[in-house]
Amino acid sequence: MYKVTLIPGDGIGPEVTKAMVKVVEASGVKIEWEEVEAGEALIEKYNTAIPNHVIESIKKNKIAIKGPITTPIGKGFKSVNVTLRQSLDLYVNLRPIKSFKGIKSRYEDVDLVIVRENTEDLYAGIEHKIGDYGAESIKLITKPACERICEFAFQYAKNNNREKVTGVHKANIMKLSDGLFVNTFKEVSEKYDVSADDLIVDAAAMNLVLNPEKYDVMVMPNLYGDILSDLCSGLVGGLGIIPGANIGKDYAIFEAVHGSAPQIANQNIANPTAIIQSAIMMLKYLGEVEYAKKIERALERVFLKGEKLTVDLGGNASTEEFTEEIIKYL
Ligand code: ATP
Ligand code: MG
């Protein structure tokens, strides 16, 4: 019996996490959920969207799965996601992007993995005003952070029989910061028997649109990872299907790549696939590979059949109908 911290989140978060819990339970795996609230609704009471008891729960259970949480723009609140990643030192953001047969999209054979550095770069939160004239954000890149993220990428490639790791950067312009990233990438690559190459981020954006099937594992600093993950989700059917994991040495938090999508919240139309796929990643991380595969096969069959798809995938099934369909195949 595993104990997992469950954070429903904001916007479509509660609907999609509810669907995920139903599917995971129907698979038969034994999980005890410790539900804790975080998000916009708590700001008034706690003056933060992520009260301490939430972090304590994750520290205790070591594993969490969460719905998206809204960060109010320009109000001085630090992003919940950034706070969690930094305070639990979840230095890896892992995002597998894979085509499903049956989901209409521009490409059919995409199977790549984005390994995004999760703790520094322009997300370090080092910003200040220059009087009324402007503002400055510091892009922090450190050797230890480059080392551990590149090590993770190569180790992941090795353990998952992946053929190539591509390091993405902009070292032609940011010679020192991105230069450090790409040099470290090259150093780490020499320790592994996996092929490696590197690519400038703008070229990566174009090549991913032209020939996404040429890419395998891609490792990059935080901001490029943020942007290219959304781009890649667009290659295979959109944000509604792409899962993610934030992984550190001691803790892991699984979550969809998409945000809280407030425009479609509380309408029973959101696609829960992204968080269900995040749960599949979580089960694999826990070593429950058989349950993970069982859910994966059920999802594949739902897409292949194509009768009960959510609106974002061109269907007209509700969140609940889609969820029931998955459970039927379990
Ligand atoms: P946030 O500020 O929290 O990121 P957002 O409005 O940017 O919220 P996103 O989740 O980032 O919302 O997604 C942008 C759009 O993609 C949404 O408005 C929605 O149309 C679509 N979308 C995202 N996730 C889903 C989903 N799970 N199911 C259906 N559509 C989705
Ligand atoms: Mg968004």
State the DSSP H helix or E strand holding residue 2, giving kind and residue range, or none if neither.
strand 2-7
Residues spanned by the domain of 165: 120-235
Are 67 and 204 contacting, i.e. CB atoms less than 8 angstroms apart?
Answer: no
pLDDT of residue 66: 96
Of 201, 235, 269, the position where a domain reaches its end is: 235
Of 218, 235, 252, the position where a domain reaches its end is: 235
Question: Over the chain, what is the mean pLDDT?
Answer: 95
Active site residue 250: no
Query: First CA to last CA across the chain, in angstroms?
Result: 20
If asked whether residues 298 and 205 sit together in one domain, one would say no
Q: Which residues of 174-188 are buried (b: 16+ CB within 10 A; e: fewer)?
A: eeebbbbbbbbbeeb
Query: How much is the pTM?
Result: 0.93
pLDDT per position as a tens digit, 117-166: 999 999 888 999 999 999 999 999 999 999 999 999 999 999 999 999 99
If asked whether residues 316 and 221 sit together in one domain, one would say no
Which residues does ligand 1 sit against, CB inside 6 Å?
12, 16, 68, 70, 239-240, 258-264, 270-271, 274, 312
Distance 270 CA to ligand 2 centre (A): 14
Are 70 and 11 contacting, i.e. CB atoms less than 8 angstroms apart?
Answer: yes
Cα 326 from Cα 330, distance rounded (Å)? 6
pLDDT of residue 75: 66
If asked whether residues 231 and 124 sit together in one domain, one would say yes
Mean of pLDDT values over 163-191: 98
Active site residue 285: no
Cα 103 from Cα 25, distance rounded (Å)? 25
Shortest CA distance to 169 belongs to which of 123, 223, 120, 208?
A: 223
Q: Give the ligand 1 atom nearest the CA of 230.
A: 11
Our separate counts of H helices and E strands in the chain read: 11, 12
Of 184, 207, 235, the position where a domain reaches its end is: 235
Q: For residue 95, give both structure tokens.
A: 């995002």
pLDDT of residue 45: 85
If asked whether residues 273 and 288 sit together in one domain, one would say yes
Of the candidates 10, 121, 123, 178, the residue annotated as catalytic is: 123
pLDDT of residue 81: 82
If asked whether residues 202 and 288 sit together in one domain, one would say no
CATH number, domain with residue 247: 3.40.718.10
pLDDT per position as a tens digit, 43-67: 888 888 888 999 999 999 999 999 9
Distance 229 CA to ligand 2 centre (A): 12
The verdict on residue 114 lying in a domain is no
If asked whether residues 243 and 231 sit together in one domain, one would say no
pLDDT of residue 74: 64
CATH number, domain with residue 124: 3.40.50.2300
Residues 6 or more apart in contact with residue 66 via CB below 8 angstroms: 6, 7, 8, 9, 13, 17, 38, 253, 254, 255
The verdict on residue 111 lying in a domain is no
Shortest CA distance to 252 belongs to which of 74, 133, 118, 105?
A: 118
The verdict on residue 115 lying in a domain is no
pLDDT per position as a tens digit, 28-37: 999 999 999 9
Are 162 and 156 contacting, i.e. CB atoms less than 8 angstroms apart?
Answer: yes
pLDDT per position as a tens digit, 211-252: 999 999 999 999 999 999 999 999 999 999 999 999 999 999
Are 270 and 319 contacting, i.e. CB atoms less than 8 angstroms apart?
Answer: yes
pLDDT per position as a tens digit, 272-321: 999 999 999 999 999 999 999 999 999 999 999 999 999 999 999 999 99
Active site residue 10: no
In the chain, pLDDT over 90 holds for what percent of residues? 87
The verdict on residue 291 lying in a domain is yes
Of the candidates 60, 78, 89, 202, the residue annotated as catalytic is: 202
pLDDT of residue 48: 85
If asked whether residues 100 and 248 sit together in one domain, one would say yes
Are 34 and 63 contacting, i.e. CB atoms less than 8 angstroms apart?
Answer: no
If asked whether residues 93 and 3 sit together in one domain, one would say yes
The one-letter amino acid at 253: I
Number of domains in the chain: 2
Active site residue 226: yes
Mean of pLDDT values over 255-270: 96
If asked whether residues 137 and 225 sit together in one domain, one would say yes
Q: Name which residue sits closest to atom 20 of ligand 1, judged by CA.
A: 261
Mean of pLDDT values over 80-97: 91
- Which residues, in sequence order, are bridge partners of residue 7? 66
pLDDT at 171 over 80: yes
If asked whether residues 92 and 136 sit together in one domain, one would say no
Residues 127, 131, 132, 136: what is their CA dihedral angle, to the nearest 10 degrees?
Answer: -20
Complex prediction ipTM: 0.93
If asked whether residues 137 and 126 sit together in one domain, one would say yes
Of the candidates 10, 121, 226, 312, the residue annotated as catalytic is: 226
The verdict on residue 310 lying in a domain is yes
If asked whether residues 286 and 307 sit together in one domain, one would say yes
